A = this chain, B = another copy of it.
Amino acid sequence: MRANLEQQVENFRERCRAAGLSLTHQREIIYRAVLESREHPSPEIIYEKVKALIPAISLATVYKNIHTFIDAGLLREVTLHHGSLRLEANLSEHHHLVCVRCKAIVDLDESDVAPVHLKRRPPAGFRITRASVEFRGLCAACAKSSKLTAQS
């Protein structure tokens, strides 16, 4: 279940202090905008929402704080590969192992993973055509070169 909103915001303040981040008005409004969104918003969407409350805010501030929050583990990116299109020719069912640091993708055969299935009916007429698992973690090389600072 979803914790109550003000509680989550208080937790946010706590974690900012713990991470040595200044608590600015802009930061709290940006974080709230993501918290209150169900739709996994893009930076542009967040910018629009925040601008309704802080008309003078800069788009750059939104981007900077999004990254600050990701680095501090307060927000998470839905995909680690948003920067550039990544392709595959393997059209058979399979799964992926992704390194959160170097973004390398390794295929896992379908048979390597316990069968995936949705226990409930998908929401409101959604027609599922495919299911694949993404395992995130650190590849051997990245694990060696660094400690994991923020989960992704």
Interface residues of A, Cβ cutoff 8 Å to B: 8, 31, 34-35, 38-44, 46, 66, 70, 73-79, 81-91, 96-97, 99-100, 104-108, 111-120, 122-140, 143, 148, 151-152
Task: Output the nearest chain B residue to A144 by Cβ-Cβ distance.
Answer: B125
Distance of A123 Cα from B84 Cα, bound (Å): 25
Distance of A89 Cα from B70 Cα, bound (Å): 10
Q: A130 near B105 (CB under 8 angstroms)?
A: no
A122 to chain B minimum Cβ distance, whole angstroms, is: 6
Distance of A129 Cα from B148 Cα, bound (Å): 10
Q: A87 near B117 (CB under 8 angstroms)?
A: no
A120: chain B residues at CB < 8 Å are 112
Task: Output the nearest chain B residue to A122 by Cβ-Cβ distance.
Answer: B97
